[in-house]
Chains A and B, each alone.
Chain A
Amino acid sequence: MHHNLRSLNGVAVALLLAVAPPHRALSVVEPAEEADLPRVVITELKHLEETYRVLDVAADKVWPGWTDYRNVPFLFEYRNGLKVLVGHPNPPAGYELLADVRVENKSVAVDRRNLLRLELEAPLRATGGIIRYGATDEGDPVETVHMRFSAAGTRNSDGRPVWRAEHQILTFVHELFHTFQNAHFIPFAFGNLHYNPDVHYATYSEIEGQALLAAWQERDQRKAVERLEDFIVARDLKRRSMTAQQRGEESADDLREGTANYAMVRTLEVLRESDFTARLSPMEAPSYNGFRNVGPLIDQHVQQLRLVSGQIDDPKAKCYEYGAFQALLSQRLFPGWQRSLAGGESDFIDQEIRRRLALEPSKQAAIERRLGRLYPIDSIRAKTARVIGGRDAAFRDIRARKGEVYIVDFKTVGVSVESLFPLRDSYRLGWHRLYPKGTPGVTLDDINLSRIDVPFEAGQLYYLRLVGTAAPHGAPAAFSVNGAMAADGSYVNATVTTPHFTLRAPRMRIDAEGDRVKIKVLSRVKED
């Protein structure tokens, strides 16, 4: 469900939005003082209000019948521990309703029980997902859009933030479309794609992306259809090493994430052709330009398609744009494609495209031959082989290491290990990432992790796992702690030193047993 914001931000540098005031500013009673909410939090509530107004214009043209976008609660979670719940029918224990703050007519409740002394500074950006959070009075779980905000950070050369209000509003659109899917057209039980590529898969996966890009850029409709044929045949070739389950997972991911990204781009297309009137003032939403220049925002998705086409070791990351452009091209070439999906004629977008193209075996064979002329298969395969070979060697080397085990657990503080380090010279393998050359040191809030010079892996997203080979096999893991121990056995403002790295954190717990040490980071900010 998570939108791939890392890479979206990477291409957002190209965004050049004209600076102009919104058409009309609302006269708003600023509730920040009364509610004691940080201004950036109020801004995000304003972005959500604007999202509904955007969808009032666009939703039915994104997908016929999409009208229920106001019915889903939002949970905003911030780095300082603040939780804000919008429109929940029954806020869980710990939340207090804010009498003076509403989003349209929806209630707003906050949970401040775990607040940290951490300033929230604009701009923020959020990644999201759909969760079941809390329960109705009848005990049924409540489907909720969960957004986690973090610092957007990067700014353009002119000093303006890359991450703008428009991006946040479109991200809300993305997540809201997931809830529409769940209620209307996502078929049965296929989970996320669980597949690590081999050279053959990765080669034809890149050709798929190049074919989609060529189809999108092709103005001649007949030639665009030919490029879609290329996409379908490349997909068939690619999938020869996949099981039926994995093929279903991949198509389901394209449908789930692809149509949610399609909803973002399609919203932009509709806004471009509409007389949409922005309703937020610069005071309310400083980075907002009222969708006055949507071209660069659409171009970001095209650039992202180009970028992910060439990514090799993480096929799941491709579903956002591969699925989106299958849907956008279907919107352009195959009127009624949505009815086929909603009506059950096709379960997936690629299945619908295949049905529309109706390729005979002889034509399929001819297209297969054509791929070799139109796409640089040999050079792609050579590049791919180098990466896959590097990944496999890293896997063998890291798993072959025997010795003391050090684990650093970042789950409590919500930090995925791969977000700490550069992706260069690392490899994705399932929910793990391999770092055969180690990593540079990193500081995150009040956590500091030194440079690591030995191979290690990030396991199951949140856990750094390193096998040292300095001590004799079976010997206890060596480490020392410098810091105060609290009554609950955790260490406060302590530094752990091992032969391979040093970690400083505001609070952590250490479990040592024989040749294994597990360090659980419990806080990222110094406490009072």
Chain B
Amino acid sequence: MPFARTLMVALTLCGLANVPPPAASSSDAGPPSPRALDLHVVVESERTTMAAVRRTSIEYWLSSNKTWLRAGDRTTIVRNDLGVQWRLHRPSRSYSEDRVLPYTAGGRTVPPGSAPVNLHTEGFSYEPDFRWTVEETDERDFIAGRPCSLIVAVGRADFAETVLRIWLGPWIEDPTDPNVNTMIANRGLSNSAITFLARTAAIGRRGALMAVEEAYEPAILAAVNVRTRVLTLEKAPAPPDIYDLPDGFTREVR
């Protein structure tokens, strides 16, 4: 597909390097030791299905090899450097620990149709193999202070359909995981959409997902509409010890 127009826009946009960090505070004890600036992101998500709307706000701190994410009562800390992921439940002050799996675009490693047929389980699960049609648009907007452009993608499969409205902003050059460009605004989307977006946004370092709207008609279940949008995107010093397991939490035995 001709992406030239979007690419031109993206290349002329300013990157995060131009976002000024907050001024360091001074103290009588001398200059503070320099602290790396991490990426701080707040994403708003809205999911509508069966006449019910569920809104969530997700806050991220991202550093090299480390991610902190909070949604509602749950906090997830991913430590790629240690190979673990902690899921914290703040009301019960408990947590679980799992071996960390490297993030892959869309989380899917087996393309549809490539697994051997198992007649015991054949026909139950269905992952749409969408044929995508992508259309560039002239629509522009500022999201979290960043200029973005809209593309619309329509996915058609035998037993499912989806329509994506994708706002791409400037590529984020950052010491964090490069997947940050494709993951921060994909919360709640269908698996197939996440895979497609990861591929679309990442090709040629095309842009960062700043907002996505998906109208998804799954095979059997009720239609789902998801809107997700980045509200805050900044470089800032992370709160101290935020990537560490906090004191006073008890590990769940499962």
Q: Which residues of A contact B (CB under 8 A)?
A: 92-93, 131-135, 139, 141-142, 194-196, 198, 241, 246, 392, 395, 405, 407, 409, 411, 429-432, 459-463, 465, 511, 513, 518
Shortest C-beta distance, B2 to chain A (Å), equals 19
- Contact residue range for chain B? 20 to 34
Shortest C-beta distance, A91 to chain B (Å), equals 9
- For window 113-130 of B, CB contacts with A under 8 Å fall at 119-126
A-B contact pairs, 16 of them (CB 8 A): A132-B52, A133-B51, A135-B52, A139-B53, A196-B119, A196-B121, A429-B119, A430-B124, A431-B124, A431-B220, A460-B126, A460-B159, A460-B220, A462-B219, A463-B159, A518-B156
Cross-chain contact B122 with A430 (CB below 8 angstroms): yes
B93 within 8 A of A: no
Q: Chain B residues near A518: list those with CB within 8 A.
A: 156, 158
Shortest C-beta distance, A1 to chain B (Å), equals 13
Cross-chain contact B54 with A141 (CB below 8 angstroms): yes
Q: Chain A residues near B108: list those with CB within 8 A.
A: none
Known pairs A142-B52, A411-B219, A432-B122. 18 more at Cβ < 8 A? Answer: A132-B50, A133-B51, A133-B52, A134-B51, A139-B54, A194-B124, A195-B120, A195-B121, A196-B120, A198-B119, A395-B119, A407-B159, A429-B119, A430-B121, A459-B123, A459-B219, A465-B158, A513-B131
Q: Chain A residues near B159: list those with CB within 8 A.
A: 407, 409, 459-460, 462-463, 465
Does more than half of chain B's interface fall in helix, strand or loop, or is it mixed?
loop
Shortest C-beta distance, B25 to chain A (Å), equals 39
B 151-189 binary contact with A (CB < 8 Å = 1; else 0): 000001011000000000000000000000000000000
Cα A135 to Cα B131 in complex, Å, equals 35
Cα A136 to Cα B51 in complex, Å, equals 11
Q: Chain A residues near B121: list those with CB within 8 A.
A: 194-196, 430
B99 within 8 A of A: no
B217 within 8 A of A: yes
Shortest C-beta distance, B50 to chain A (Å), equals 5
B140 within 8 A of A: no
B5 within 8 A of A: no
Most buried by B among A131, A141, A411, A429: A411
- Of the residues A135, A241, A465, contact of B120 by C-beta under 8 Å: A241
B55 within 8 A of A: yes
Cα A246 to Cα B193 in complex, Å, equals 29
Cα A196 to Cα B121 in complex, Å, equals 6
Shortest C-beta distance, B159 to chain A (Å), equals 4
Cross-chain contact A463 with B51 (CB below 8 angstroms): no
Q: Which residues of B contact A (CB under 8 A)?
A: 50-55, 119-126, 131, 156, 158-159, 217, 219-220
Cα A134 to Cα B49 in complex, Å, equals 9
Q: With A133-B51, A135-B53 in contact, do A405 and B122 touch (Cβ < 8 Å)?
A: no
Cross-chain contact B158 with A459 (CB below 8 angstroms): yes
Q: Chain B residues near A93: list those with CB within 8 A.
A: 51
Cross-chain contact B123 with A431 (CB below 8 angstroms): yes
Q: Chain A residues near B50: list those with CB within 8 A.
A: 131-134, 141
Shortest C-beta distance, B227 to chain A (Å), equals 16
- Of the residues B119, B125, B126, B217, contact of A411 by C-beta under 8 Å: B217
Cross-chain contact B156 with A511 (CB below 8 angstroms): yes
Q: Chain B residues near A461: list those with CB within 8 A.
A: 219-220
Determine the residue in chain B with the shortest Cβ distance to A197: B120
Cα A63 to Cα B222 in complex, Å, equals 32
Cα A377 to Cα B53 in complex, Å, equals 53
A-B pairs, 6 with minimum CB distance:
A430-B123, A92-B51, A460-B219, A194-B124, A432-B123, A430-B124
Cα A142 to Cα B158 in complex, Å, equals 32
Cross-chain contact B122 with A429 (CB below 8 angstroms): yes
Q: With A132-B52, A431-B220 in contact, do A196 and B158 touch (Cβ < 8 Å)?
A: no
Q: Chain B residues near A195: list those with CB within 8 A.
A: 120-121
Shortest C-beta distance, A367 to chain B (Å), equals 26
Q: Chain B residues near A246: list those with CB within 8 A.
A: 120
Shortest C-beta distance, A205 to chain B (Å), equals 14
Cross-chain contact B52 with A134 (CB below 8 angstroms): yes
- Of the residues A141, A411, A459, A465, contact of B52 by C-beta under 8 Å: A141
Determine the residue in chain A with the shortest Cβ distance to B222: A131
Cα A405 to Cα B159 in complex, Å, equals 12
Cα A93 to Cα B53 in complex, Å, equals 12
Cross-chain contact B124 with A463 (CB below 8 angstroms): no
Q: Chain B residues near A196: list those with CB within 8 A.
A: 119-123
Cα A462 to Cα B158 in complex, Å, equals 11
Q: Chain B residues near A431: list those with CB within 8 A.
A: 123-124, 126, 219-220
Cα A198 to Cα B54 in complex, Å, equals 42
Shortest C-beta distance, B102 to chain A (Å), equals 25
Q: Chain A residues near B122: list those with CB within 8 A.
A: 196, 395, 429-430, 432
Q: Chain B residues near A135: list those with CB within 8 A.
A: 51-54
Cross-chain contact A407 with B52 (CB below 8 angstroms): no
Q: Chain B residues near A409: list those with CB within 8 A.
A: 159
